[in-house]
């Protein structure tokens, strides 16, 4: 018998809440006896339900503010039993909405009990996956190409550690941990030739470098950063396409400027993330520490924990979980009520696939973490548990 995972998720949540009907409970028992994926989900959900004291777990499966309001209201009534609390928590919401929000299972369920468990059984193949499909993970460690101001290109992941280039009193070296360092020796700064360098990461690659002023940059996949041999004048300017995390060395005399097609970020010394891929409709600047100015048609100052979202015309500021913006540095995907389209753009950049929608884009969103070490077929399998279907043809992923 084939079990529809959307329906199974609803029944599992009802079972935890104590609101499942006898008929549905029989159907669920059948699924738990016969269907291995259902067993995995039930194990993950029941373990987390008990570990998180029930209500907290259900709270995480729904809209944050609405749930907090209900939990608080229920908590004020000390006469309400634990079972009644579960019922109240669950009956106030559309179960399909809860099932969609159950992307939390990407963290606590599927990834924890299936893909991270070497003894776990494999799930059925995704519809349309062909044997020729490149299921290996594209990530093979730190990868980047450095193009020097003289036009010379160096493939950084293929060269030995040590000094790579010496130009004037600028020394470019690669450390044992794969970091690229631009160092300027004392004195004779005017001997340094002018010119711009570009470091570019491929699909599935990332790289860390130290700029001539001592600022550190982590470059995400399919990104490029253009920077000078040495910073001169009143500004330290770099140009970004893609995504990078910056730790800027303080210099009140020379502000650090990150330029992109949708605006500029100005900073004296701070830690922040900039996502400015050309295929994304918006540039996102997330401040971790310090203070930055985001410049477009208007100038806005960010505080730690804030994100500026700009489409090139207008900019707005929102409070965010900074861990979501910087999860890629830890080699993770992290989503927080993220629409399907945004999730698939990120997957496209990491796995080097073309995403095509067969009709209307599904009105689904995801919350949870997935390791970027999983293969594309595993990534899609996780998402398919939330009701989005895929078909794979070569390097094309078709969202049905």
- What pLDDT, on the 0 to 100 scale, is given for residue 62? 43
pTM score: 0.68
Angstrom distance (rounded) from CA 371 to CA 331: 6
Q: What is the mean pLDDT of each run of 10 residues along the chain (400 residues)?
A: 64 79 87 72 66 54 37 36 40 39 39 32 35 45 84 85 80 85 66 76 91 93 92 92 95 92 88 94 94 86 93 89 91 87 93 91 82 85 80 89
**What are φ and ψ of residue 223, in 5° steps?**
-130, 165
- What pLDDT, on the 0 to 100 scale, is given for residue 93? 37
- The answer to whether the beta carbons of residues 349 and 275 sit under 8 Å apart is no
Concatenating the DSSP letter of every residue in 184-211 gives E-SS-GGGSPP-EEEEE--TT--EEEE-
- What pLDDT, on the 0 to 100 scale, is given for residue 4? 63
- What pLDDT, on the 0 to 100 scale, is given for residue 100? 37
Angstrom distance (rounded) from CA 228 to CA 26: 68
CA-based end-to-end distance of the chain: 23
- What pLDDT, on the 0 to 100 scale, is given for residue 53? 54
- The answer to whether the beta carbons of residues 142 and 155 sit under 8 Å apart is no
């Amino acid at each position: 018998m084939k079990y529809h995972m959307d329906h199974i998720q609803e029944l599992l949540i009802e079972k935890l809440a104590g609101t499942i009907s006898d008929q549905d409970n029989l159907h669920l028992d059948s699924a738990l006896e016969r269907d291995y994926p259902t067993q995995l989900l039930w194990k993950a959900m029941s373990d987390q339900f008990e570990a998180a004291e029930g209500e907290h777990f259900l709270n995480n499966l729904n809209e944050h503010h609405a749930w907090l309001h209900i939990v608080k209201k229920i908590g004020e009534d000390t006469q309400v039993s634990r079972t009644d609390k579960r019922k109240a928590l669950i009956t106030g919401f559309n179960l399909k909405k809860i099932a969609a929000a159950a992307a939390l299972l990407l963290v606590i369920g599927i990834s924890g009990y299936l893909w991270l468990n070497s003894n776990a059984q494999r799930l059925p193949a995704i519809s349309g996956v062909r044997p020729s499909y490149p299921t290996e993970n594209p990530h093979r460690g730190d990868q980047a190409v450095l193009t020097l101001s003289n036009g010379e290109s160096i493939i950084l992941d293929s060269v030995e550690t040590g000094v790579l280039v010496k130009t004037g009193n600028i020394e470019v070296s690669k450390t044992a941990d794969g970091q690229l360092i631009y160092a300027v020796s004392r004195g004779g700064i005017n001997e340094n030739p002018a010119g711009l360098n570009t470091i570019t990461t491929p699909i599935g690659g990332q790289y860390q470098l130290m700029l001539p002023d001592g600022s550190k940059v982590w470059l995400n996949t399919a990104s490029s950063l253009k920077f000078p041999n040495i910073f001169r004048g009143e500004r330290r300017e770099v140009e970004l396409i893609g995504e990078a995390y910056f730790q800027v060395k303080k210099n009140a005399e020379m502000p650090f400027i990150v330029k992109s097609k949708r605006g500029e970020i100005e900073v004296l010394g701070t830690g922040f993330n900039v996502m400015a891929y050309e295929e994304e409709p918006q540039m996102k600047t997330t401040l971790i520490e310090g203070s930055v100015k985001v410049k477009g048609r208007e100038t806005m100052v960010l505080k730690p924990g804030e994100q500026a979202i700009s489409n090139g015309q207008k900019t707005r500021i929102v409070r965010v979980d900074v861990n979501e913006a910087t999860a890629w540095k830890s080699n993770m995907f992290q989503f927080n009520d993220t629409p399907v389209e945004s999730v698939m753009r990120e997957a496209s950049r990491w796995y080097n696939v073309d995403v095509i929608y067969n009709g209307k884009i599904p009105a689904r969103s995801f919350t949870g973490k997935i390791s970027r070490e999983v293969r594309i077929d595993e990534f899609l399998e996780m998402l398919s548990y939330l009701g989005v279907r895929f078909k794979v043809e070569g390097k094309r992923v078709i969202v049905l």
